[in-house]
Amino acid sequence: MTVTTPPASAPAWAKAILPPAAEFGPTPLPVTAGAIPTGLRGTLYRNGPARLERGGRRVGHWFDGDGAILATHFTGTPTGTPTGTATATYRYVRTAGYLEEQAKGQLLYGGYGTISPARFWQKFAKQVKNAANTNVLALADKLLALWEGGHPHALEPNTLETLGLDNLGWLNPNWPYSAHPKRDPQTGEIYNFGVTPGKTSQLRVYRCNSQLQLLQQTAIPLDGLSLIHDFVLAGPYLVFFIPPVRLQVLPALLQLKSFSDSLRWRPEKGTQILVLDKNTLSVVSKSEAEPWYQWHFSNGYVDAGGAVVVDILRYDNFQTNQRLKEVAAGLTQTLAKGSLWRLRLDPLSGQIAEMREILGRSCEFPAVAASEVGRENRFTYLSLHRQGTDAIGELYDSIGRFDCQTGTLTEANLGAGRYPTEPIYAPDADNPQQGWILTVVFDSQENRSQVWVFDADRLDCEPVCRLALPEVVPPGFHGSWVPAG
């Protein structure tokens, strides 16, 4: 039996990861420092694994924890008050697997890195649990909790009540809707994909309108079953980089190994590049490059010369997957350094003309302002390891802004033992020149979580506001800002 309280030797961040997170209903958030900006009006949504254990048994990978959504609503400045107000709600996504395991008080399902605990002849009756734990997508009437390998779950945007699994009115039962959709800021159209396994695995790409009504879809055959987590919207193109990771099908199919443990690094296959026309979803080019691995991209665009420029968070190999597996146990022992790279490629041939590291710091979760997706951007916001941090044993403990024009990094000073989530840009509702960076910070010394608000242009200064959350919210994966009105 595995305990949920961290041992004395565990790193400070384990206090937020190991115990199951506690939900809370709508709660006004006290301001502990500074003041809420008057033009900060909207909602910060965040998703991530919040429960990694049931009945004394732990999941086998961080990706398998039950998803929970944090919604922090900023209301601006009401009449007669000196500053704005904020209210937060935190709730688990009540998937069918979550409810069944909650009722029985034990883990029942396998996952990305978890073997089903059922007896061998019962394993095939249990589907892999949709953890709904990776990202969110806000529509006019609902919030979608996204997961890599299945359909999204719909939630009520204010109460976070789970409405149920959602096929969007057009998803085939075997078509996954992945966790990194791209919304074109000029047209409002939303693009996404799903990988469908089979005798010939397929990359299925979806083009939808702003309310996720399907406009077009296509299926592209793949060379084996790889792990494709993210893609790039770059002007008129969609670009997929398929890493040299392949699934050993038989061990995974027979559940002798988990999906994660059945993945193998195959550098001899190189990185495969697919460039698609975003309007027709037709393949413009296919090519191959040197091997690397990536989870995430910062952004992409087409430069004045017609080349596609992509900023990518690149790893030398697939050791990052092992490290993320160790996070679920509360103790990381594998070094997996990712850094920010820029590449230029010819979209018609797919050939890379240039690829170079532009930020050598250990970092992850790159993001740009939503208004700049697919267009040339100056700033990329990232999670970082602080200078001098033990990059093996620590989670990311700072955030930064990288200036793509000058090559300079502006880094926040959160202090020791504080662990932020992915920084998210929120435009000011009153001043288009002003932006705010929002992150949820776990303070291990005080064993509490806070929402911190930074001036996007002064990230190296003190946050303009800190808001206390009523419970610890564990570090998670992705989120988004939804402006009010």
Check which CATH number belongs to the domain holding 70 and give it.
2.130.10
**Where do we find the tokens 């709660």?**
27
Please state the rounded mean pLDDT for residues 383-397: 95
Low-confidence winner among 120-129, 283-292, 331-340 (lowest mean pLDDT): 120-129
The residue type found at 50 is: A
Q: Contact, 142 vs 157, CB < 8 A?
A: yes
Overall domain count for the chain: 1
pLDDT, tens digit (0-9, with 9 covering 90-100), for 161-193: 999 999 999 999 999 999 999 999 999 999 999
- Is pLDDT at 129 greater than 70 in this prediction? yes
Supply the pLDDT for residue 467. 98
Distance of alpha carbon 423 from alpha carbon 401, whole angstroms: 9
Please state the rounded mean pLDDT for residues 196-213: 94
- Is pLDDT at 476 greater than 60 in this prediction? yes
Please state the rounded mean pLDDT for residues 183-212: 96
Low-confidence winner among 5-14, 224-233, 400-409 (lowest mean pLDDT): 5-14
pLDDT, tens digit (0-9, with 9 covering 90-100), for 92-107: 999 999 999 999 999 9
- Is pLDDT at 82 greater than 80 in this prediction? no
Distance of alpha carbon 48 from alpha carbon 100, whole angstroms: 20
- Is pLDDT at 3 greater than 60 in this prediction? no
pLDDT, tens digit (0-9, with 9 covering 90-100), for 392-445: 999 999 999 999 999 999 999 999 999 999 999 999 999 999 999 999 999 999
Range of the domain at 20: 14-483
Q: In 3-state terms, what secondary structure has residue 31?
A: strand
Nearest Cα residue to 81 out of 35, 42, 41: 35
Q: What is the residue-averaged pLDDT of the chain?
A: 94
Please state the rounded mean pLDDT for residues 4-31: 88
pLDDT, tens digit (0-9, with 9 covering 90-100), for 28-80: 999 999 999 999 999 999 999 999 999 999 999 999 999 999 999 999 765 55
Supply the pLDDT for residue 253. 79
Please state the rounded mean pLDDT for residues 208-215: 97
Q: Which distant-in-sequence residues (6+ apart) come within 8 Å of 8 by Cβ?
A: none
Per cent of the chain over pLDDT 90 is 90
In a domain, 2, yes or no: no
Supply the pLDDT for residue 117. 81
pLDDT range class, residue 4, cuts 50, 70, 90: very low
Low-confidence winner among 11-20, 109-118, 316-325 (lowest mean pLDDT): 109-118
Supply the pLDDT for residue 124. 54
Per cent of the chain over pLDDT 70 is 95
Distance of alpha carbon 279 from alpha carbon 269, whole angstroms: 30
**Where do we find the tokens 């789970």?**
162
Please state the rounded mean pLDDT for residues 231-249: 97
In a domain, 439, yes or no: yes
Q: Contact, 389 vs 6, CB < 8 A?
A: no
Model confidence, pTM: 0.95
In a domain, 401, yes or no: yes
In a domain, 3, yes or no: no
In a domain, 371, yes or no: yes
pLDDT, tens digit (0-9, with 9 covering 90-100), for 241-268: 999 999 998 888 777 899 999 999 999 9
In a domain, 368, yes or no: yes
Supply the pLDDT for residue 373. 98
Supply the pLDDT for residue 334. 97
In a domain, 5, yes or no: no
Distance of alpha carbon 262 from alpha carbon 248, whole angstroms: 5
Q: In 3-state terms, what secondary structure has residue 62?
A: helix
Distance of alpha carbon 355 from alpha carbon 127, whole angstroms: 41
In a domain, 4, yes or no: no
- Is pLDDT at 8 greater than 70 in this prediction? no
